[in-house]
Each structure stands twice: as C-alpha cells, then as structure tokens.
Amino acid sequence: MRATLALWMLVLAGACPEQTVPTTPAPEPNGIVTGRVFCGDTGRPARFASVSLMPVTDPAKTKLDKAGLNAGPSKPAAPTTSITTAVDTTLDGGYTLTHVAPGTYYVIVRKDGYINPVTIFTKKQLDEPTDQIRNLIEQALPKVNVEQDSTAHADVQLQRGAAVSGTISYDDETPASNVNVTLLHKDESGKWVPLSGPGAGPRRTGSTTNDRGYFRIASLLPDVYLLRADLSLENERTAVTGDAAGHKNEMVMRNIKFFLSFYGDGTPHIDQATSFTLRGDDERTGQNMTLPISKLRNLTGRVAAGPSGHFVNAANLELIYGPDKKSLAHSNIDREDGLFHFEFVPEGDYTLRVTNARDVTWEPDAPQPGMMPPPPGFPAREKERVLETYGNVDMPLILRGDMTGITATVPAKQSSSPAASN
C-alpha cells in the first residue's frame, strides 16, 4: 500500500510542472523634461538650439561594474543609459523632451557660437570624476532628475565661446578656396592634436574656406591653438551598374595623389609654427595663412635591390625631417615600372626612408561567394604574391628643386640598423 501511494505521488509530481510566476513588463518610459534656453551674453532666448540628455554615471556603480562585482554570470547587466531624441528650441527658447526613462541626466545644449559644456571635460572625467572635477561639472552642466509619470524642469544659460577667422591664400596672392582648416591644441602629453569631445566624435572646430579663402571657427574654449590647413589632390571614379530587375550598384574608387598640411602662417613644419591664445569670448580676426606653393618640389625615383641592382616593384617610402624624425609625406611603389613619386614637397633637408621593399607578382583574385564583380572600366581584383623581400634603408636627401632619377639601394637581407645610400 505504501509503495502504491509513493508511486502515485511521483506520477502526480510529474504531471504538475513547476508553476512560473508571470512577470510584469517594465512600463514604457514616460518622463518629461521641459524648460527654456537663454544666451548668456544677451539674455535673449536661444532659438533653434539643440537640446539632449546625457545620463549621469554613478561613480560607485562604475567601479563595481569594472571590478565585475555587480552581476553574476547568469544575470545580464541592466542598461545604464536611455536614448533621448534631441529637440530644437522654439522661438521663445523653450524645449520639451518626452518618453524619458527615470534617472538623473545632464542637459546638453548645442548652438553655434556658444560653448557646449560637455567639451570642457573628457569622458573619463565625466564617468569617474574626482571631487574637484565633480564640483566643476556641477557648475557647468545643469542636471535634472526624471521620475516616471512626472515632468522635470531645467532652464539653461549658454556661454558665448571665442572665435577665430582669417584667410588662406597661395603665395601668388590668389585665394585658396575649398581648403580644410582645423584647429589644434595640446593634449595632456603636450602633443598638438585636433580638438575632440567625449563620446561624440570631433568637435565642430573645423571649417572649409569659401571662394575668397575665408574661414571662421567659433564656439571655442579659452586655450592655446595652432592653425592647420590641409591641401589634398584626389581622383574619383564612379561606376553604376544595374540588372534587368532595376537594381543598381554604385562603386566609387578614390585615389589620393598627395596630401600636405601647413601650420601657423604657412610653414609645412609643425615645430616651426606660431600658435595663438584665445581668452573668454575673444573674436580673433586676421589669422591668415599663406601657402608657399612656389617652393613645392617634385621627387621621383626607384629602389634598387641588393647586389643585383635590379629595381623592386613594391615598397613603402616616407620623407622624414628634423631631429624628431617627423614624417612629412608618404608614397609607395606598387607597379611594374618601379617608380615612386612625391609631388608638391616643401624644400628642405630630409631622410628618404624605404621599408617593406619586395619583388612581387599580381594575380587575379577569385571573387568570394556572393561578391559582385567590378563594374566595367574598373580594374579586376588582384592579390599580391611576394617573391623576395629586402631590408630597409635611410637615405639623406637635400631638396632644393625638382629631383628625378633618385635611386635608393636596399640591402639583400634585413639588417639591425638602416644603411645609407647615395
């Protein structure tokens, strides 16, 4: 009897699986943030400014997350951010953000000519602020706490930034139009670098010259800056193919023939350039640059290999200058004629550095499954097969005019120190 009862209990246990408690889905975020934005220099509404929210990171939670102490291996980490669509302020400077998840946020406002406070701090400073940085953040970034089923209010006052303007021209007194202009500043290591903001890509601190060579860059913080203008020559080929069904495929091939940067008032050497300082809401005008194109030279040549003296058909080349061995320009050999070309190079004393010299053949590359063939007029895909490799070489070079027929000889085998060649 007891055995029969036990058997029935096992059957019943198998017939009644464990009951699961239904979970209540999380409510859709419905918090609201509203307010007005004003211009600090005029006191007037900031019209058509972009307003968005950035979640405030909890320093204690961040440290726990990095240590792996917050969640077990089977429990996924809860999301720490929510997406809020940026909105533009209206004619009275007002804005309203809806569908905001509960949490604490910085109110971020962007408007041309005014400082975006986020750019004052690095991402690391925002995520793991020291006490000093935390106090500065509290002063610079308005903060708002959002709760479910409620409306939070935050007014923002913008601070006018500094600006710099000028013209870029060639040394024959014609304007340099459509030239990219960038501002550099020094990073923590003292190196000149383009301005950048945390997590949002480069700041809007670049410009392109207009038909008269004019540029203006605004919304700048007080700092020491260096002007850079980039000249580039690019070839572009576009091919469009289609099938009977009307599907089109567009392929674009770009080939940069040369790229050269000038600094300060027009020197190609960054260590010789003159910087300038902006304070407060300075409006610095007349920051002009003249590009010395009349002193740019062409350099062509070949790379000879070892004892045989034959010319290699593949290599990488650089022009190095100065005691700090800075790289000014790059070129390569990648075809059977074995020629390298440096176009529009400033006069000066250089080291021609040759690396990765090799003899190669190019073979048709079989298309991968699903890969479309190149359109008509485009070269077939090829792969390189290396036959022989050679050592590197550094060759002193004095460039005072156009130079052709230069030959740099690389050793037959890799050596521990580069050998010079004439």
Q: How far apart are CA 176 and CA 192, in angstroms?
A: 24
Q: Choose between 284 and 323: higher pLDDT.
A: 284
Q: What is the pLDDT of residue 274?
A: 96
Q: Is the pTM of this model over 0.85?
A: no
294-422 placed in CATH 2.60.40.10: yes
Q: How far apart are CA 422 and CA 415, in angstroms?
A: 18
Q: How far apart are CA 51 and CA 303, in angstroms?
A: 57
Kindly report the average pLDDT of the chain as a whole number: 80
Tell me how far CA of residue 30 lies from CA of 100, 142, 144, in angstroms.
6, 21, 15
Taking 70 as the threshold, does the pLDDT of residue 370 lie above it?
Answer: no
Indicate the Cα dihedral angle 64, 69, 75, 76, nearest 10°. Answer: 30
User: What mean pLDDT comes out for the span 356-372?
Assistant: 74
Judge whether 31-158 and 161-291 match in fold: yes
CATH tag for 161-291 (out of 2.60.40.10, 3.40.1190.20, 3.90.79.10, 3.20.20.70):
2.60.40.10
Of residues 365, 359, 354, the one with CA closest to residue 336: 359
The CATH class, in words, for 31-158 is mainly beta
Q: Which of 71-85, 154-168, 244-258, 386-400 has the lowest mean pLDDT?
A: 71-85
Q: Are 226 and 217 in contact (CB under 8 A)?
A: no
Q: What is the DSSP letter of 270?
A: G
The pLDDT-based confidence of 5 (bands split at 50, 70, 90) is very low
Q: Choose between 254 and 406: higher pLDDT.
A: 406
Task: Give domain limits for the chain.
Answer: 31-158, 161-291, 294-422
Structure tokens at 271: 């260590």
Q: Which of 10-14, 190-194, 264-268, 315-319 has the lowest mean pLDDT?
A: 10-14
Taking 60 as the threshold, does the pLDDT of residue 421 lie above it?
Answer: no
Highest mean pLDDT among 85-99, 189-203, 227-241, 317-331: 85-99
